[in-house]
Amino acid sequence: MTDHNAPASARIAEGLELVATKIREFTVDRAAVGITWAAVGLILIVVGGMAAYWLLVGIFRALGTLIGVETAYALVGGVLIIGGSVAWLRRYPQDRPSQEE
């Protein structure tokens, strides 16, 4: 804390230092934490995407070995077509007003 017997210049310098420290806490420190979490999140997304990709490749190769490559292509294609159809049918909410009105 400030010493009331200290010269005015020392008290002013200490007050400026306290203000600068508070401003740094509110700006630089928070930005550093945000940037750190953004970098960690980006790394997790990339690693997770790579893991999902190699998992799908492994599953497809296992299917190709077990049931044949042509059947594996048909099975995976069928699943993707069904998934795409479901997504296409759900692209609009059911409670939207009809355009006939």
Quickly state the pLDDT bin for 7 (edges 50, 70, 90): confident
Quickly state the pLDDT bin for 65 (edges 50, 70, 90): very high
pTM above 0.95, yes or no: no
* Distance of alpha carbon 51 from alpha carbon 45, whole angstroms: 10
Residue spans of the domains in the chain: they are: 8-89
pLDDT at 96 > cutoff 70:
no
**Maximum CA extent, the chain:** 89
pLDDT for 72-81, tens place per residue?
999 989 999 9
Which pLDDT value is given to residue 3?
63
